[in-house]
Amino acid sequence: MEDNRIIKTEYSEVMQKSYVDYAMSVIIARALPDVRDGLKPVQRRTLYDMYELGIRYDRPYRKSARIVGDTMGKYHPHGDSSIYEALVVMSQDFKKGLPLIDGHGNFGNIEGDGAAAMRYTEARLERITQEAFLSDLDKDVVDFIPNFDETEREPSVLPVKVPNLLINGSEGIAVGMATSIPPHNLAEVIDATKAYMLDENITTRELMRYIKGPDFPTGGIVINEDDMLDIYETGSGKIKLRGKVEIEKAKGGKTNLVITEIPYTMIGANIGKFLMDVASLAETKKTQDIVDITNQSSKEGIRIVIELRKDADVENFKNMLFKKTRLEDTFGVNMLAICDGRPETMGLKQIISESVRFQYEVAARKYKNLLEKELDRKEIQEGLIKACNVIDLIIEILRGSKDRTMARTCLVEGKTEGIKFKSKESKVMAAQLCFSEKQANAILDMRLYKLIGLEIEALINEHEETMANIYRYEDILARRDSMAQVIINELDKIKDQYQKKRKTQITNAGEAVYVEKKIEEMDIVFLMDRFGYARTIDMPTYERNKEAADTENRYVFQCKNTGKICLFTNTGQLHTLKVMDLPFGKFRDKGVPVDNVSNYDSAKETLIYAASQSELNLYRVIFATRQAMLKVVDGGEFDVAKRTVAATKLLDGDEVVSVVAYKEQRNIILQSKAGYFLRFAVEEIPEKKKGAIGVRGMRLNATDEIEAVYYSQNAVEQSIPYGNKELELNKIKLGKRDGKGVKVRQS
């Protein structure tokens, strides 16, 4: 009978438990490395699968797709992309101080280009991976656990002989936590490990005699050496990194700045961003020292060349690069790893301590396994030696026995019933035999050539070697000093074979001091055409081309090269842009769209008025809207630091139709769509704040709206084209603000 009971439970409790289970699964089984072997599960499974497939360093390469597919099918059912990505990273010498996989084909590069698809690339294990990570798996040194569907068994950890967590570092984002461990130099880590084994009370400061700091595969310079002790004691902190910059003399007395090493954080797309940032410094006129920049990097290494002007202040320019680009960057350290089944942030000494503890466990299991095998071998060897001494009797037993069982029983228990002997003496001697089961089976399996004199001598020598091994293994297992020496010997062997020179320099360097060159302030002229392209020219150029400049451009006014331009739009917004962001040069230069150098968007709003911010500070500004709302605002309110602010407040459905600086205007003339004109004194418009709506300037019909706004001076004739005639503005009857105005016919 089906059980259809519905169990009621609190939704929040179910969600909380489910999320905690999910978080722990990600933390333990996906994102964080184990402190013992320094590997995440996907890395461990990929290496073990390659070992199982026999893709050794001295065998041919195999397709990456084969490795990925086998790993996914047997051990890691989380998608091929994560496995292939792990495989690729373990082969990249610019990401790992000690690559674990030997990649063949396009495995990406330091500039961020990705690896080729897995069907094109090939891989095999590196020699050190085989010797220092996987070599003892056949000696029962680690526990094997069932895979995801319990059809295979996989190691819970690899028997790594070095503190790989420090050597290769690790990066991973889990749920609610992340790890970021920098790579270190193999030789230094091994020396520190040996020092710890010789004195377990050693301090972190003393360990740092051997490990000065991280050793990034990209080199670079760590500039906060004094902070390293605190980082290594707590397991967290910030490492300040700089690229290595060299100065080369170029032709014509020029100087080249050559970047030969980059911060570890710059690898990938950040190299391209760095080049763009340097180019931007020239474009925005932060510096005028740059002549050219080229990326000459190749397989031989990084080489970014910045060509400078003859009179450039090289040291100041170098400091500007440190300040304004990622040539100086921060590497956040958080040495978080799985220790005893739980995530823990560990310092340098604790990581080495856990690694050494693991080495002792592995060594104990290894030599216990080897001892058992040698004891078995000893037992068999002794049986064979003993059998050689009574070989005639054994042959007589074998010839007189009916089957193998009868012969084995005689050899083990001395039972002679049913066996035909040539003499009574042989039967008596056979009754005294007492070989073990293993010895008896070995005797029965022995081939006749083993009775040759040299073979017997070899057997005796082999037995002596076995006894020496047993004595050695028992000594290693009985005395911690002996086991420590074995581990140290293995570490020395790995160091001698695989050590590399340190690449990263560790030092203390002061803050990069960049003195920004003061730009000489001067008057220039701002030009903007009807298409929204803006530029600036110097005063003499403007004077020579005054007529063309005034007729061809929508806005022409004088400004300071260090100032800002204010752009007022129909939506009531004020956008500011720096004059320095505009191209300065020849009169016929095209300029740049103001959309590109400000927040103004010509697709969504219309430019109503442009003026120099310094000029607005001297005047007041008159606003007029479609619904005839008017106000005067002090121009100083528009001297703002933000790139965009609200210049005025608008009623629903309203928009700005006119913005002008209040200079010599006496009268304002509002023209409505229906043909009404209202002229009154500008003085009637009250001064308000920029956040105010203003006052009504003209009474409009329900469907009417302001179409145009004009200004005039007393006794100065001014006319506009209206319909088929010229309309003189000063002849319009002078009224009062908030009047209806007069209707003017168009013909």
**Which residue numbers are catalytic?**
120
Q: Which residue has the tokens 């001395």?
A: 414
Instruction: Give CA–CA dist 597/581, Å, rounded.
Output: 7
Question: Which has the closest alpha carbon to 592: 579, 576, 605, 611?
Answer: 579
Tokens 């140290």 sit on residue: 488
d(CA 143, CA 131): 19
Closest CA to 590 of 542, 529, 631, 649: 529
Phi, psi angle pair for 388, to nearest 5°: -65, -30
User: What is the rounded CA–CA span in Å between residue 499 and residue 212?
Assistant: 16
CA–CA gap between residue 633 and residue 648 (Å, rounded): 9
Cα-based distances in Å from 355 to 194, 404, 477, 709: 11, 51, 19, 82
- The sign one gets for the Cα dihedral 93, 97, 98, 101 is negative
Task: Give the SS3 label for residue 620.
Answer: strand
Extract the tokens encoding 498: 């695989």
Helix (H, G, I), strand (E, B) or coil at 367: helix
DSSP class of residue 101?
E
Length of the chain: 747
Please name which of 83, 81, 101 lies closest in space to residue 91, comparing C-alpha atoms.
Answer: 101
Give CA separation, 678 vs 443, 456, 587, 711, 736, in Å: 127, 129, 41, 11, 8
- Paired tokens of 179: 């790890």
End-to-end Cα distance, the chain: 98
Phi, psi of 403 (to 5 degrees): -150, 175
Helices (H), 313-436: 314-324, 348-389, 391-400, 404-413, 424-431
| Cα Rg of the chain (Å, integer) | 43
Full DSSP string of 523-574: EEEEEE-TTSEEEEEEHHHHHHTHHHHHHH-SEEEEEETTSEEEEEETTSEE
Strand order in the sheet with 101-104: 62-63, 122-125, 101-104
Asked if residue 703 lies in contact with residue 653, where contact means CB atoms within 8 angstroms, the answer is no
